[in-house]
Amino acid sequence: MRLNERFKLIIEWFKENMPVAETELHYTNPYELLVAVILSAQCTDKRVNQITPPFFERFPSAEVLANAEISEVFEYIKSCSYPNNKSKSLVGMAQKLVGEFKSIVPSDVNDLQKLPGVGRKTANVIASVVYDKPALAVDTHVFRVSARLGLTRDAKTPLETEKQLVKYIPEELLAIAHHWLILHGRYVCLARKPKCNECGLKHLCHYYQKNGE
């Protein structure tokens, strides 16, 4: 099967079986999503959604967070992974957002990456989810699922995965494709023990053909 045909069939399956796919992080504005995505690095969305309500009650805006003590921010996020680093990043992000971007979360991926705690993945999430830009964020789920399905070949880094995927996924579907792959990886194509018997894509899957259960 040619690669473009593989993409076409897998995209058609997702369109039919997962017509609605969106972030599971809770937020009401770009600032809140930016904080949530920074917190979500190597942490579950479920945990982040438990942390953010009291966090946003105390730090409702970038201006308030920019003036916060790192030690106080730590107390609000200490149940997530790497709270020390994330506390510093969140305060630094808010200060940069206020000082350089007039408290407006930028839509440009390169501008977003100027903010402390924001790498390419986080920048792509904000650009696609908030601003509906044709960007595809690659996290561990996207990286794993893309390789198993045979959508990527020999990709060693998230950036290589991103480049291979955007070559074949139509621009208008990049934002939802990110969520398709994440949700499939989170609930079906698990890292240690994928639920191949429940997967509607196993007939197209390189991993299943090689390791069939």
80 labeled part of a ligand binding site = no
193 as an active site residue: the answer is no
Nearest to 87 by CA among 108, 65, 104: 65
CA dist 207 and 197 (Å) reads: 13
How distant is the alpha carbon of residue 50 from its chain centre? Answer: 18
CA dist 72 and 86 (Å) reads: 12
> In which residue are the tokens 């017509």 written?
19
Per the CB < 8 A criterion, the answer to whether 45 and 25 are in contact is yes
111 as an active site residue: the answer is no
DSSP string, 76-134: HHTTSSSHHHHHHHHHHHHHHHHHHHTTPPP-SHHHHTTSTT--HHHHHHHHHHTT--S
Per the CB < 8 A criterion, the answer to whether 19 and 164 are in contact is no
DSSP 198: G
205 labeled part of a ligand binding site = yes
Query: Active site residue: 45, 121, 156, 210, which one?
Result: 121
Query: Active site residue: 45, 46, 139, 154, which one?
Result: 139
199 labeled part of a ligand binding site = yes
43 labeled part of a ligand binding site = no
Annotated binding site: 189, 196, 199, 205
Annotated binding site for [4Fe-4S] cluster: 189, 196, 199, 205
Residues classed as catalytic: 121, 139
